[in-house]
Amino acid sequence: MSATGLIAEDEPLLAANLTMMLAKLWPDLRIVATVTHGAAAVEQALAQRPDVVFLDIRMPQVSGLEAAESLAEDWPGDAPLPLIVFVTAYDQYALRAFDHAAVDYVLKPVEADRLAVTCRRLQAALASRNKTRAELPVELITALSALRSAEPEAAAPPRLRVLQASGGNTIHMVPVADVLYFEAADKYVEVVTAARRFLIRIPLRQLLPQLDPGQFWQVHRATVVRADAIDTATRDDSGKVELTLKGHPGKVAVSRLYAHLFKPM
């Protein structure tokens, strides 16, 4: 069965080896790109639209898991999402999540027999999948959300009550309860309250564990909303969900990975 594939692996020998093994086991799989980090994986996958993506979990800056999340969120609606296979040398917590959600993974060193099983599974999935509409595989959503909660943290940091945002020579003390939502912007996080916006110098990834997950919901990989501030959630015809907030004119987009949070009771 002919198909296209992408390999993301930061170690050159291992990438070359995976390409070689795939060439033997699945001669009709054409590798359209081999990249060495997660950001390039997302960029190349969006440009080349491969059928299958092999993602190493630990890569510089953007990990394989983050790349998968970005792909699921940014994938255009008119094409099916690529099948994702995670590749890892040793990530016990991730493997548990994958087993639980039946998402495919390959262990390094890659064994030919094991990779052959993966190839057969991929071929079967490609043959049966719906080619007209992009559907998010439930397994991937489950696996990624399981991973988010399973990721080992050093020690749960204390919950934040007040944010300290700098504005010139002044430090603004912003009570967390006043925040409508947080929006990640590169290494910064924009804090939006009813009155104004602030910038704080902390990546969203580090801020998130300091917030009460019951109060603050992640609705996009770059957005965290205070649940009490949400007024309505509206689903449009294409399935996209948007939030309106109390006391705030703008709208907040919910990504497909988090759309399941908004269902009538």
Partner 1 sequence: MNRYLSRALRSVGYGSGVGLCIALIRQQPIGTTLLYSMCISVACWFFIDSGRYLVATRIDAGDRRPGWPGWGWMTTVVIVGGCLGLLSGTLLGDTLTGAHTPILSGDEDLRHLLGDVLFVLLPAMIITYFFNTRSVIADREAAAQAAQRQAAESRLRLLEAQLEPHMFFNTLANLHVLIGIDPPRAQAMLDQLIAFLRATLNGSRALEHPLHAEFERTRDYLALMQVRMDDRLRIRFDLPETLAEVPVPPLLLQPLVENAIKHGLEPSVTGGRIEVKAARDGDTLTLAVRDTGVGLGQRASNGTSFGLRHVRERLETLYGDTACLSLSAANDAEGGTLAIIRMPLK
Residues that bind partner 1 (CB under 8 A): 10-14, 16-17, 36-37, 39, 58, 60-61, 89-91, 107-110, 153-154, 206
For residue 176, give the nearest of 143, 118, 215 by alpha carbon: 215
Please say which residue, 14 or 126, places its beta carbon nearer to partner 1: 14
Least distance CB 27 / partner 1 (angstroms): 19
- How many degrees, rounded to 5, is the angle at CA 254 between CA 184 and CA 177? 60
Least distance CB 92 / partner 1 (angstroms): 8
Least distance CB 45 / partner 1 (angstroms): 17
Distances (CA, A) of 68 to 21, 54, 91, 210: 23, 10, 16, 24
CA dist 45 and 4 (Å) reads 11
Least distance CB 187 / partner 1 (angstroms): 8
Please say which residue, 11 or 190, places its beta carbon nearer to partner 1: 11
Please say which residue, 155 or 265, places its beta carbon nearer to partner 1: 155
Please say which residue, 60 or 250, places its beta carbon nearer to partner 1: 60
- CB neighbour list of residue 206: distance below 8 Å, 6 or more residues apart: none
3-state secondary structure 11-48: CHHHHHHHHHHHHHHCCCEEEEEEECCHHHHHHHHHHH
Least distance CB 10 / partner 1 (angstroms): 8
For residue 9, give the nearest of 44, 52, 42, 57 by alpha carbon: 57
Please say which residue, 17 or 142, places its beta carbon nearer to partner 1: 17
